[in-house]
Amino acid sequence: MIRVLFRVDASQKIGYGHLNRCICLADYFREKGFDCIFIIKESTKEVEKIISIQRKYIFFRLKTEDDIIQIIEIYNPKVLVTDVNIRVLFKTYSLYSNYTSLLAAVCANTIVASFEEFEKRIYAANIVIIPYVGASRLFNRGKIHKNYLLGEKYFIFRSEFLNSPKVKIKKNVKNVFICMGGSDPNKITEKCIKLLIKGNFQFKIKLFFSIIDMERRKSIEELLLQYEGDGEIFINNHNLAEEMISSDIGIVNSGLIKYETSMIGLPCISICNGKEHKLVMKYFEHEAAIIHLTSIEDRHEDIFINKLRELIADYSERKRIHQVNTLLFDGYGLVRVYEKIFHLVNQST
């Protein structure tokens, strides 16, 4: 049996996008007869429960990044998949580069596949995956290594989105989906609610989190009492796609959630997480259809309110956004990534 190690983290600070992507890939590998093991460092008890109890995978916790070398030597994997948040785990890119070079040296008989951020760099892995809209434009044409998998055709969607029907665009907006990522550490959700209150909006809002503490939930519930419409909080909801397709528009952050709303055709306003996402959103706006705001700080409050009113009123624009996005993603990213890894495994045996 071929063994695959997944080096990935998830937490309130990091979010859950990296973990969800690796679980999708691991489930697919397991269906093909591979043995999958997870290696984590930054995590929570909830994350460990998802991996070991819900998904039935063995996992190991690292004390330091160097501990992974011993695990690799013991288990001798054929494939190592890395999908880590560089900014959280490493102080500088140079430290991350040294780490990946060390992994490549230790894994002389292992195919290393790394998911990387939206940056033009030279990476040490055998397969480099940058599965984001516009990623191929970061590199000069004709100079892209054949094992660099670039662009949205390699984006990995969970099965709930692959199997979901598309959103039906209605003339009247009654339900709004709001998600600022799994944990929203910057509390953009609360800022949105305050602006909805200020703008006297009255549609039903559905707020989604992977995890929040009880104190924050209580604070949000108190804030919703000031909102003129209905509001509901969902935590660790397992039917996210279903909730999206029952919504009329979305308000999301600039993270991976925008791919899922786009896949099923939900017209959205996105709010930038931070400066590091400005280039990401520049390319996303160029090829996908989304109304993007760089911020909703004080000086941008009226812009948010006006853009939201315009989107609600413009039925034709919502239909256009739906049509552009549903044609952009074909949903075969998972298969393409697996086939590329499997091809290199076959070549090395």
CA angle at 62 for the pair 276 and 19, rounded to the nearest 5°: 50
Asked whether residue 182 falls in the same domain as residue 81, the answer is: no
Asked whether residue 96 falls in the same domain as residue 212, the answer is: no
The predicted pLDDT at position 43 comes to 81
Spatial separation of the C-alpha atoms in residues 141 and 136, rounded to whole Å: 8
- Encode the chain (349 residues) as per-residue pLDDT tens digits: 899 999 999 887 888 889 999 999 999 999 999 999 999 998 888 888 889 988 999 999 998 888 999 999 999 999 999 999 888 888 888 888 888 888 888 888 899 999 999 888 888 899 999 999 999 888 765 556 778 999 999 999 999 999 999 999 999 999 999 999 888 888 999 999 999 999 999 999 999 998 888 999 999 999 999 999 999 999 887 789 999 999 999 999 998 999 999 999 999 999 988 777 888 898 899 899 999 998 777 667 899 999 999 999 999 999 999 999 999 999 999 999 999 999 999 887 7
Asked whether residue 187 falls in the same domain as residue 169, the answer is: yes
Which of these, 112, 145, 109, 105, lies nearest to 127 by C-alpha position?
A: 112
- Residue 166's domain comprises 160-328
The predicted pLDDT at position 87 comes to 83
Asked whether residue 151 falls in the same domain as residue 167, the answer is: no
Asked whether residue 133 falls in the same domain as residue 33, the answer is: yes
Asked whether residue 298 falls in the same domain as residue 242, the answer is: yes
Asked whether residue 320 falls in the same domain as residue 200, the answer is: yes
Q: 325 vs 70, 199, 262, CA distance in Å? A: 44, 28, 5
Asked whether residue 46 falls in the same domain as residue 99, the answer is: yes
Spatial separation of the C-alpha atoms in residues 24 and 115, rounded to whole Å: 14
Half-sphere exposure of 250 (CA within 13 A, CB side): 33
Give residue 256's identity as a one-letter amino acid code: L
Neighbouring CB atoms inside 10 A of 161's CB total 18
The predicted pLDDT at position 298 comes to 63
pTM of the model: 0.92
The predicted pLDDT at position 143 comes to 58
Q: Are 205 and 178 in contact (CB under 8 A)?
A: yes
Give the DSSP letter string of 86-134.
HHHH-SSHHHHHHHHHHHHHHTTTSEEEEE--S------SSEEEE-STT
Task: Say which CATH number the domain at 91 has.
Answer: 3.40.50.11190
What total of structural domains would you count in the chain? 2
Give the DSSP letter string of 270-335.
EE--SGGGHHHHHHHHHHS--EEES--SGGGHHHHHHHHHHHHH-HHHHHHHHHHHHHH--S-HHH
Asked whether residue 9 falls in the same domain as residue 107, the answer is: yes
Asked whether residue 301 falls in the same domain as residue 340, the answer is: no
Asked whether residue 51 falls in the same domain as residue 138, the answer is: yes
Q: Are 206 and 196 in contact (CB under 8 A)?
A: no
Task: Say which CATH number the domain at 240 has.
Answer: 3.40.50.2000
Spatial separation of the C-alpha atoms in residues 127 and 142, rounded to whole Å: 17
Give residue 66's identity as a one-letter amino acid code: D
Residue with tokens 């940058």: 130
Asked whether residue 187 falls in the same domain as residue 300, the answer is: yes
